């Protein structure tokens, strides 16, 4: 299992602490340093069952500068959103845990972290 985190984010630190408390085996990806490629973002979206705008932090300054709130949210705009997330990783919602069974969750609550821990392949 892998967790994408920003160490400055309190929800990320909580998720990591909970994984440690549960004795989980995982790898950490500091996605602002190891920026995901467009293909990696597509793969995670597939595992999450979400669209790129579902994992975009639209309140971030960069989102406002790009005018993301006005962007269309449809199939033809999908690549544009994914490209923006790859170029501006700060816009990616966090933390994201990819579970052993091939699924993923946005783990912003303890419940979501426990959900990911329960998904053994």
Active site residues: 9
Measured CA to CA, the distance from residue 61 to residue 51 in angstroms comes to 21
Write out the two tokens for 39: 């293909």
Measured CA to CA, the distance from residue 114 to residue 103 in angstroms comes to 14
Measured CA to CA, the distance from residue 94 to residue 112 in angstroms comes to 12
Measured CA to CA, the distance from residue 99 to residue 4 in angstroms comes to 12
Size (the chain), residues = 121
């Amino acid at each position: 299992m892998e967790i994408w985190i920003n160490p400055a984010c309190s929800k990320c630190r909580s998720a990591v602490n909970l994984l440690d408390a549960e004795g989980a085996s995982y790898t950490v990806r500091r996605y602002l340093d190891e920026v995901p490629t467009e293909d990696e973002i597509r793969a995670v979206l597939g595992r999450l069952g979400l669209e790129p705008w579902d994992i975009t932090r639209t309140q971030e300054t960069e989102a406002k500068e790009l005018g993301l709130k006005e962007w269309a949210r449809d199939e033809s705009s999908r690549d544009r959103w994914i490209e923006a997330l790859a170029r501006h990783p700060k816009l990616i919602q966090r933390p994201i845990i990819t579970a052993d069974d091939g699924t993923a969750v946005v783990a912003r609550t303890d419940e979501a972290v426990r959900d990911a821990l329960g998904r053994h392949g």
